[in-house]
Amino acid sequence: IDKARRILQDTTTGGTRWLDAELLGWINDAQREIVLIKPNSNSLVASYNLDAGTKQTLPTGGLTLLSVIRNTGANDSSDSSVRRVDRNILDSENPTWHGTTASDTIIHYIFDEDNPDVFYVYPPALAASPGDAALELSYSSAPTDLGTTAASIALNDIYGNVILDYVLYRAYSKDSDYAGNAQRATNHYTAYNNSLGNRVQVESISSPNSDQTGRWDTSRAMR
C-alpha cells in the first residue's frame, strides 16, 4: 500500500483520493485473480480422508486438484503411490468400476478439467471410519482475504510486484477521466498480465519435469 501511495502521489495517512480500505480490497482482488490464472500460486499439500465410493470433493477452500501423491490411510502402511489414469480407459476396460469392491488402498485417480474441485478414485474408497482411506493431495486453495493493512499477503512475496501493478491498474481506472490515467491503468494491467505470463513460462522451462531444463543444463555444461 505504501508503494502504491508513492506512485499515486497520495501519501496522506489513510489516503485522500484512495482510502486504505479501497486499496486493501484491490489487494484481495489481485490475490484471487492471480490464483485464478495461476492455480499453483497458492497450493497446499495435505492428507485428506476420503468419502466412501469413487467420487471425492476437495477440502473446503480447494479450487482445483493439482496432483494426488500417495496413500496415507491408517490401514495402508506402505504409503503406496497413486497414478493418474484417463477415465475413458477405465470406462472401456471395466464399465462397472464405480461399483467394484472398496479398498483402503487407492491405485488410480481420475481428474476432469470441467470439474476441477472433484476427482474420482479407483478402487472405490473404503471409509467405514475416518482414516480407513486417505490420500496426500496437492491442490490450489482460495487465498485468505486480508482484513487489515497490517496483515501479510496470502501468496508468496514474489508476487508482491504483480499485486502492486493490479492495485495501480484499479486505482487509475477509478480516475480514468483525468488526462493520462486511462493509459496508466492500461500500462499497469499489461505489466500485471506480462509478469504472470512470464512466470508461467519460466516455471515451465525450469521445471525438473521439463526436457528443456535438461537440454539447457547440458549445453551449459558443454560450454
Say yes or no to pLDDT of 118 above 60.
yes
In the numeric block, which cell numbers belong to residue 39?
Answer: 492455480
> Following DSSP, what letter does each residue of 139-206 receive, concatenated?
EEEPPPPP-STTSPPSS-GGGHHHHHHHHHHHHHHHTTTSTTHHHHHHHHHHHHHHHHHHHHHHHHHH
pLDDT, tens digit, 9 for 90 and up, residues 122-180:
999 987 666 589 999 999 999 999 999 999 999 999 999 999 999 999 999 987 677 78
CA pair distance 84, 69, nearest whole angstrom = 10
pLDDT, tens digit, 9 for 90 and up, residues 37-80:
899 999 999 999 999 999 999 999 999 999 999 999 877 667 89
* Centroid of chain to Cα 71: 22
CB 125 within 8 A of CB 133: yes
| pTM (2 d.p.) | 0.80
**pLDDT at residue 73, as a whole number:** 85
In the numeric block, which cell numbers belong to residue 35?
Answer: 490464483
Residue type, 27: I
Nearest alpha-carbon partner for 65 in 151, 173, 137, 16? 137
Say yes or no to pLDDT of 194 above 60.
yes
Say yes or no to pLDDT of 222 above 90.
no
